[in-house]
Amino acid sequence: MNAVPSVPAAPATFDSLDAWRSRPAAQQPQWPEPAELRAALEDLAGLPPLVFAGECDLLKDRLAAVARGEAFVLQGGDCAETFLGATADGVQAKLRTLLQISVVLTYAASVPVVKIGRMAGQFAKPRTTATETRDGAMLPAYRGDAVNGLDFTPRARRPDPRRLLSAYHYSAATLNLCRAFATGGYADLRQVHAWNQDFVRQSPPGQRYEELAGEIDRALSFMRACGADPEELRAVEFYSSHEALLLEYERALTRIDSRTGLPYDVSAHFLWIGERTRALDGAHVEFARRIHNPVGVKLGPLTTPADLLALIDRLDPAREPGRLTLITRMGAKQVRDRLPPLIEAVTESGAQLVWICDPMHGNTFEAPSGHKTRRFDDVLDEVTGFFEVHRKLGTHPGGIHIEFTGDNVTECIGGSHEIAEENLHQRYETACDPRLNRSQSLDLAFLVARIYRQAR
């Protein structure tokens, strides 16, 4: 086994936090008015934190347990949040889906679940091309509500720095609602039936969920009869996450923690670097290595062991438990071939990291109707392959990273309550990539719970 390198932590100074500015920064908007951008960033820098450093440290502890094989991560939410979607009903629907998936995994797989939402900050998206053309007209690509608007008009597509402030305020509102739901009684396990009172209830996974909820009710009744009513059953820990894409925004929300003197990005508990922005000498990696949040990095099928080991040395030089999460997005057809060399290289290096499967992004295709979509069977196949590889190599499959919504959308094909290609147009509502609806999400939860039990 290779010796773990000893690399000193980056100094906690504001000068070091700006070191990324000398590196190439991919996927950044072309802001038309520098003065407007400076004004927005100054306002952001003076606003209160969205999360606290101590909460980030607690999540790091939870992820360290995952790295040791003692827990499982459920990370999920919208592909791209929208300002219009940041309503009480919209936030509640997504959180309800997260809670239902978590209950299935916790109860059916007998594993503690760390709950991380792709919520309260996922307002920016990388794009394959900088422009979009329709009917001969070319405009800037939609980069998420934090940058510009979805409508295909010159006014909407103009990058507007004031949207960064809107992203902060909508993130704050979403996070406040999530915290209220998580601790104010809605997440109480005695509410398991109430989370299923809608269209999902009559679907096959909804009916299976009702049976599981009945078992939970009986277990809780038994505990109460024995005089046990743990406080842990009445609330949940909820953590926020998003891709750290817009570096000016993330930098403006980075603070020096008064307890430790260390820098934290207080825009979210957990930040990840995308597949398009993980260049070792790039600005995103340079920024992420300086903050003390737990961070993740997306790994596509072209990732080499050398690439990965270099990223680990850069992002987690001290090999801090829970610091670094590897989010693989290989695609169903490649996961069984591409993942093993990466796991073997990490195992040989001695690093103990969290491995999470993103079965969504490697399985996207365009239907004949022109809609971007994913087959549920491909999503499940990639998760299955992820577990198979870890089981074969004796390592821990640490979690799943999925895009879902609490609404009855028709964006992904398949599932036990099947959606066909010809139905995609009926409720195709995503601002970017296709999401699992709640019925499909529960389908996946039951299947993942079964696979996890078999892998232990």
Nearest C-alpha neighbor of 329 from the set 369, 289, 357, 310: 357
Average pLDDT in the 238-246 region? 98
Per-residue pLDDT of 3-54, as tens digits, reads 333 333 444 456 789 999 999 999 999 999 999 999 999 999 999 999 999 9
Query: Which pLDDT band, with edges at 50, 70 and 90, does 147 fall under?
Result: very high
Q: What is the pLDDT of residue 43?
A: 98
The percentage of residues in the chain with a pLDDT greater than 70, rounded to a whole number, is 97
The percentage of residues in the chain with a pLDDT greater than 90, rounded to a whole number, is 87
| Cα dihedral 394, 395, 399, 401 sign | negative
CB-CB contact of 382 with 376 (8 Å)? no
Query: Which pLDDT band, with edges at 50, 70 and 90, does 454 fall under?
Result: confident
Average pLDDT in the 237-259 region? 97
Per-residue pLDDT of 182-193, as tens digits, reads 999 999 998 998
Q: Cα angle vertex 96, ends 120, 173, to 5°?
A: 30
Average pLDDT in the 404-425 region? 93
Q: What is the pLDDT of residue 234?
A: 84
Cα–Cα dist 140/125, whole Å? 13
Q: What is the pLDDT of residue 9?
A: 42
Per-residue pLDDT of 222-231, as tens digits, reads 888 998 888 8
Cα–Cα dist 337/342, whole Å? 10
Q: Is 172 exposed, middle or buried (0-12, 13-18, 19+ CB in 10 A)?
A: middle
Q: What is the pLDDT of residue 201?
A: 82
Average pLDDT in the 368-393 region? 97
Average model confidence (pLDDT) across the chain: 94
Residue 247 has pLDDT above 80, yes or no: yes
Residue 160 has pLDDT above 50, yes or no: yes
Q: What is the pLDDT of residue 35?
A: 97
CB-CB contact of 286 with 20 (8 Å)? yes
Q: What is the pLDDT of residue 13?
A: 58
- Computed on alpha carbons and rounded to an integer, the radius of gyration of the chain in Å comes to 21
Residue 1 has pLDDT above 60, yes or no: no
Average pLDDT in the 312-337 region? 98
Q: Is 203 exposed, middle or buried (0-12, 13-18, 19+ CB in 10 A)?
A: buried
Determine the length of the chain: 456
Residue 370 has pLDDT above 60, yes or no: yes
Strand partners, 137: 134
Cα–Cα dist 18/295, whole Å? 18
Cα–Cα dist 44/168, whole Å? 8
Count CB neighbours of 235 within 10 A.
Answer: 17
Per-residue pLDDT of 75-97, as tens digits, reads 999 999 999 999 999 999 999 99
